[in-house]
Structure 1
Amino acid sequence: MKKTNAMRILDKAGIPYKAEEYDDDGEHELEHGAASRTAEKLGVNPDQVFKTIVFKSESKEVLVFCQSAVHEINEKKARNAAGVKSVTPVKQDELLALTGYIRGGCSPIGMKKQYRTFIDSSVMNLNEVCVSAGARGVQLKLAPADLVKASNAEVCDLVL
């Protein structure tokens, strides 16, 4: 398995993780069951699979949110957590240039720049969380506290 930037950062920090490859079908839409299919392939509960969502504020600040992939993000809670007036999802064609990652392979760890990052508080109820390793078809399994540390994130309530 090729090391991703996220893996190299975890290795350098001495943070334990497991990288698992799975067959990525290219369908990354919540309403089409992406979280459940990924969880099944990884042998974990769907609530453990966390997605990374990148937004821009009204001032064009890039903001990163990470939450269980089975839930929709609550944009009001996201705005409140970041202390901004509005959030707009980053367009797919901007994602790679801003983060270094593509849709379906966006990790909260190791983006091109350290953006303010927020992780839903439900993560702290888990023993292990799964996030993208920075490539489609590869997930990282790690302890929630290690994810928070590695992504330099703030833990807050984000879901509907």
Structure 2
Amino acid sequence: MDRPRYPNTQAIRFLRANQVDFKAFIYTYTERGGARQAAVELGLPEHRVVKTLVMETLDQSPLLVLMHGDQAVSTRNLARFIGTKKVLPVRPEKALNCTGYQVGGISPFGTRQTMPVYLQTTILDLKTIYINGGKRGFIVEVDPDVLLKTLSAIPVSVAAFSN
């Protein structure tokens, strides 16, 4: 039986280098479809699809936030946790510069720049998660503990109301 073909992105190289077990899934990317689009197309609960958001503090220090697909980030609570006045989303150009990935295809794995990674703590309660594999229309299924082990992600409780 043939092995399924999927992109060999920087994220996939990172996962392999760190000996992380993963399953790859390809879906049709839709502009602004986000986690909901991936969930619907692959028949997954949107709560298990984790989005990778690139944000920055007022001094323009970038950071990553990993959040359930069906929830938003309380930037106020995140700023309070970090000890800064504000946390804001970055422009797509800065996201590409920091991560090496286009918006809609941002993976926390294998980013161009090392940044702090903040992880919504309830993601760790899930058996497996689906997270971007470094290309639009491409996600991987992994154990959420991988986020702690390979990214030194910092668990936080910053979920806001559902989208």
Q: Could you tell me the TM-score, scaled by structure 2's length?
A: 0.89
Per the TM alignment, residue 155 of structure 1 is displaced from its structure 2 partner at its CA by: 1.1
**Counterpart Cα distance in 2 of 1:19 and 1:147:** 17
Write out aligned runs for 1:10-49 (5 A): 10-28=15-33, 34-49=34-49
Task: Please say if 1:114 is aligned against 2:114.
Answer: yes
**Counterpart Cα distance in 2 of 1:100 and 1:22:** 21
Q: Which residue number corresponds to residue 104 of structure 2?
A: 104
Task: Note if contact 1:110-1:151 (Cα within 8 Å) is conserved in structure 2.
Answer: no
Per the TM alignment, residue 59 of structure 1 is displaced from its structure 2 partner at its CA by: 1.6
Larger deviation, residues 40-49 vs 107-116: 40-49
Render the CA deviation track for 1:60-115: whole Å, top value 9, x for unaligned.
11111010011111011211232222111111122211210110001111111110
Task: Note if contact 1:71-1:159 (Cα within 8 Å) is conserved in structure 2.
Answer: yes
Q: Which residue number corresponds to residue 94 of structure 1?
A: 94
**Counterpart Cα distance in 1 of 2:36 and 2:10:** 26
Q: Which amino acid aligns with 1:14?
A: Q
Task: Note if contact 2:30-2:37 (Cα within 8 Å) is conserved in structure 1.
Answer: no
Larger deviation, residues 77-86 vs 67-76: 77-86
Q: Which residue number corresponds to residue 31 of structure 1?
A: none
**Percent identity for Structure 1 against Structure 2:** 25
- Specify which of 3, 12, 22 is matched with residue 8 of structure 2: 3
Q: Which amino acid aligns with 1:65?
A: V
**Counterpart Cα distance in 2 of 1:52 and 1:123:** 12
**Counterpart Cα distance in 2 of 1:142 and 1:8:** 14
Q: Which amino acid aligns with 2:30?
A: D
Q: Which residue number corresponds to residue 83 of structure 2?
A: 83
List gaps (5 residues or longer) in structure 1.
29-33
Give the aligned length.
155
**Counterpart Cα distance in 1 of 2:20 and 2:96:** 25
3-state DSSP class of the match of 1:65? strand
**Counterpart Cα distance in 1 of 2:139 and 2:66:** 14
